[in-house]
Amino acid sequence: MENESTNEKVSRRGFLELGSAALAAAAGGLAVSGAIAQENPSAKTQSDRSATEPAPANGPLNQQNADSEWPPATDSKSLVRNFKYPFSFANKRAYEGGWSREVTVRELPVSKDLAGVNMRLTAGGVRELHWHTADEWAIVLYGSARITAIDREGKSFVADTKKNDLWYFPSGIPHSIQGLDPDGTEFMLVFDDGNFSESETLLLSDAMAHLPPEVLSKNFGVAEATLRNLPKKELFIFQTAVPGSLEADQKAAAGALGTSPESFAFRTMDMPPTKRTKGGEVRIVDSSIFKASTNVAMAMVTVHPGGLRELHWHPNADEWQYYITGKARMTVVATGNLGRTMDFQTGDVGYVQKTLLHYIENTGDTDLIFLEMFKSSFYQDLSLSQWLTHTPPELVMAHLNIDKATLDAIPKDELVVVPG
């Protein structure tokens, strides 16, 4: 992959550098194509003179999307619905204290089941006290954050989270997030509703601004005058001081009720990988080990250079992906004789509808780390290799026109990431 895209880049540059005089001198398109093929014998243009793009093009974006520029011959001419949206395309809502941006069904129409919000909070920066109608799952991508909530009994939960830790706030559970020293935090939120929007949450500030002051006075049992400085508009994200010790906050929030027996946080790296092979590893976290996470399941996958997240599908749920680092390509094989390959890099969202066959290949020279997210209490997948090796051999050989030795060489167990 690396090499191919590099060659293509060289090939396109070579074509442009021929200049108009050279083009005029060349005896039509055939000669021009021939020149390209000669310059770069390994380029795809060698076998097909139509694989040229002579008008001005967006080179860097084409390079990042080499499998859309020149799809593999196995892709269908009719397209599988777009399944990629880069967070780089999402507008940031910036505030003193941090920012947020989102990829929802409005940006990526296929992503009906899940939506993602990427957020940054400075040290002391607060995502204000709020709740929402969807469940919120999160992973810390950078730095550390203090999170607060109360459980269904009204008991408090306060915890500090660091890189790769998760949290989960069910719908209706009020919560906050605050960046800690030395440089705050950045994290990815995943909501169990593609239609979710960060602009449609229930904020403490908004709620106060929409209630008659005399009602607030009566509700809290305090004089109306003491509430005259309540914010008149939303805070959403705001800057304040970095909080003090965790223990002090926990004690103060617990009061006489005591702390919540539930944990809304999960330490991903405290568990060993669910599966580790030569090709990489996976950590699967669903409600069987993270009790609070009742409607979102995660697989965090690492694929080493040259490795492949093996061909598989998910019988129970759509897959929402976030590419944390590295480079990848994925082909999705859909019903109706369709297949489409797209390329992914850091910051991209991918999406695979329930039951559709797919793989994810590391196309870079560093580790690829990405998230597979599901709107489900449990993680489930089926491996193509495992299926073929647990079906009567004669039947499989008759389908694929392969011999017994080849079939025997296919892995019998699900490896998740190959090679085993």
Return the axis-axis angle of helices 28-39 and 2-17, rounded to nearest 10°: 130
Q: Are 53 and 46 in contact (CB under 8 A)?
A: no
Contact 115, 194 (CB under 8 A): yes
Minimum distance from CB of 374 to Mn ion (Å)?
A: 9
H or E element that contains 131: strand 125-131
Cβ proximity to Mn ion: between 15 and 167 the closer is 167
Nearest to 180, CA basis, from 163, 199, 157, 204: 163
Taking the complex as a whole, the smallest distance from the CB of residue 373 to Mn ion amounts, in Å, to 10
70 vs 170, beta carbon nearer Mn ion: 170
Out of 262, 372, 394, 414, which one is annotated catalytic?
A: 372
Q: Taking the CA atoms of the chain, what radius of gyration do you get in angstroms?
A: 26
CA distance 205 to 129: 8
| Least distance CB 312 / Mn ion (angstroms) | 6
Exposed/middle/buried for residue 122 (C-beta within 10 Å: 0-12, 13-18, 19+): buried
CA gap 167, 187 in Å, rounded: 11
CB of 370 to Mn ion, least distance (A): 10
Name the residue nearer to Mn ion (CB basis): 37 or 147.
147
372 in catalytic set:
yes
Cβ 11 to Mn ion shortest distance, Å: 33
- Distance (Å, whole) CA 165 – CA 140: 6
Per DSSP, what are the bridge partners of residue 131? 202
> Do 311 and 357 touch, CB atoms closer than 8 A?
yes
Which residues, other chains included, contact 370 with Cβ-Cβ below 8 Å and sequence gap of 6+? 300, 301, 321, 322, 323, 324, 326, 328, 344, 350, 360
- Name the nearest CA neighbour of 190 among 369, 345, 380, 373: 373
Least distance to Mn ion from the beta carbon of 12, Å? 33
Amino acid letter at 370?
F
Q: Shortest Cβ distance from residue 219 to Mn ion (Å)?
A: 24
C-beta closer to Mn ion: residue 180 or 298:
298
Smallest gap from Cβ 16 to Mn ion, in A, equals: 39
Stretch (H or E) spanning 120: strand 115-121
Shorter beta-carbon distance to Mn ion: residue 39 or 372: 372
Per-residue b/e over 239-277, b at no fewer than 16 CB within 10 Å? eeeebeeeeebbeebeeeeebbeeebbbebeeeebebeb
Looking at the Cβ atoms of 23 and 150, the one nearer to Mn ion is 150
Residues in the site for Mn ion, rule: CB under 5 A? 136, 319, 372
**Nearer residue to Mn ion within complex by CB, 44 or 358:** 358
CB nearer to Mn ion: give 45 or 341: 341
Separation of alpha carbons 40 and 42, rounded Å: 5
Catalytic residues: 372
